[in-house]
Amino acid sequence: MSSSISGVTNRDDSGHYSREKQVVDVNNVDESFATARDLGYTRLNYARVTTVSSLDKYDSKDTYAIQLQSNGNLRITMKAGGAEEKTLDLSKYTEKLEEMKRALDPAGYAQAELEKLKEQAAKDIFEENAPGLYMKVYMTQNGRQVLIADSTADKDSKLFQTAESIMNGDYRAKKGNYFIETGYKEGAEVPKDGTAYALQILQGKTYKHDYVTTEGKSDDSKNKEITQTKNMDLAASTGSYGTMTISAAYAAQIQAQSYATTATMLSNAYLNMASVTSGNSDKGTQLFSTLINV
């Protein structure tokens, strides 16, 4: 994984600071918690963290790492390019129609509203916002990554309910290190041109900083192939040898270098948010613009 952050600080009219960071995806065979793309950190009412990326048949999943520095409600919003978007605002017409229904047929209106509530409750919030994709959230506990939320789990399970709670911003998260895995659902149809998506993380209700990470394509996506062999140079730099092990001293050295690099990047990290969307018309950026302005 490689990354870069500009050293430019920008503050917009609303008082928000912004920063852009670029990372490079790894091949599926190299995906692990050790190679997760580092999104930095946030804390309660501090930073809105967004990543813009894409998936395709050669690169079907991504893994991200983020640190929560405080306790508080966590919201992770995921939106994919295939999600239905409103193209025509009919809200005023709809409101007027609802008023007429309420006045002319109160009983019928009440029944219709009840049916709407039932229909809304039955909807899959993930399928609405990110068709064909899934999200899993892990928290590091006692040195292990523990799955706490899974959008593919049974709807009556705690894992699914936690995932739904996170999407709605109702999940009370504890401070710590978290990993977010995204990818295509099993059996999902993969579009020929892949799927652009945006992932946005916010703890609390407000924010002062916008942290934006753009993920570049993996080698497999660029070469249109699926590699079956691990990248041993990448494994050496991250300690992700699978069943192999490295010495504790070397692992500590790697971890120290990682912390130092992250600290340096974060201390220098801010970029004019307008540059993210100006002059760039690719699908990922357009999707990011839609999500960031919600």
Instruction: Yes or no: say if 220 and 56 are a contact pair by the CB < 8 Å rule.
Output: no
Asked whether the predicted pLDDT for residue 112 surpasses 90, the reply is no
Asked whether the predicted pLDDT for residue 169 surpasses 60, the reply is yes
Q: pLDDT class for 82, splitting at 50, 70, 90?
A: low
pLDDT for residue 266: 42
Mean pLDDT of the chain: 78
DSSP string, 40-62: EEE-TTTEEEEEEEEEBTTB-EE
pLDDT for residue 111: 77
290: left (phi over 0), alpha (psi -120 to 50) or beta: alpha
Q: How far is Cα 86 from Cα 131, in angstroms, rounded to an integer?
A: 16
In percent, how much of the chain has pLDDT > 90?
53
Of 141-145, 192-196, 222-226, 270-274, where does mean pLDDT reach its minimum?
270-274
Instruction: Yes or no: say if 147 and 134 are a contact pair by the CB < 8 Å rule.
Output: no
Q: How far is Cα 115 from Cα 101, in angstroms, rounded to an integer?
A: 15
Instruction: Yes or no: say if 227 and 29 are a contact pair by the CB < 8 Å rule.
Output: yes
pLDDT digits (tens, 9 = 90+) for 209-218: 999 999 999 9
Average pLDDT over residues 196-210: 95
Asked whether the predicted pLDDT for residue 261 surpasses 50, the reply is no
Of 38-42, 133-137, 234-238, where does mean pLDDT reach its minimum?
234-238
Asked whether the predicted pLDDT for residue 258 surpasses 60, the reply is no
Q: What domains appear along the chain, each with residue ranges and CATH number? A: 3-83+130-292 (2.60.120.380), 84-126 (no CATH)
Asked whether the predicted pLDDT for residue 28 surpasses 60, the reply is yes
User: What does pTM read for this prediction?
Assistant: 0.69
114 three-class SS: helix
DSSP string, 179-247: EEEEEEPTTPPPPTT-EEEEEEEEESS--SEEEEEEEEPPHHHHHT----S--HHHHHHHT--TT----
Instruction: Yes or no: say if 172 and 75 are a contact pair by the CB < 8 Å rule.
Output: no
Question: For residue 216, what are the CA distances in angstroms to 122, 192, 258, 276?
Answer: 36, 18, 20, 14
DSSP string, 239-284: T--TT----HHHHHHHHHHHHHHHHHHHHT-B--THHHHTT---HH
pLDDT digits (tens, 9 = 90+) for 55-64: 999 999 999 9
Q: How far is Cα 218 from Cα 183, in angstroms, rounded to an integer?
A: 14
Higher pLDDT, 54 or 111: 54
Which H or E run contains 37? Answer: strand 37-42
Instruction: Pull the structure tokens for residue 77.
Output: 């919003």
Q: How far is Cα 126 from Cα 15, in angstroms, rounded to an integer?
A: 32
Q: What is the DSSP letter of 269?
A: -
pLDDT for residue 244: 34
Which residues neighbour 188 within 8 Å (Cβ) at sequence distance 6 or greater?
Answer: 132, 133
Directed axis angle between helix 106-122 and helix 91-104, to 10°?
130
Q: Determine the distance from the C-alpha atom of residue 127 to the mean position of all C-alpha atoms in its chain, rounded to a whole number.
A: 15
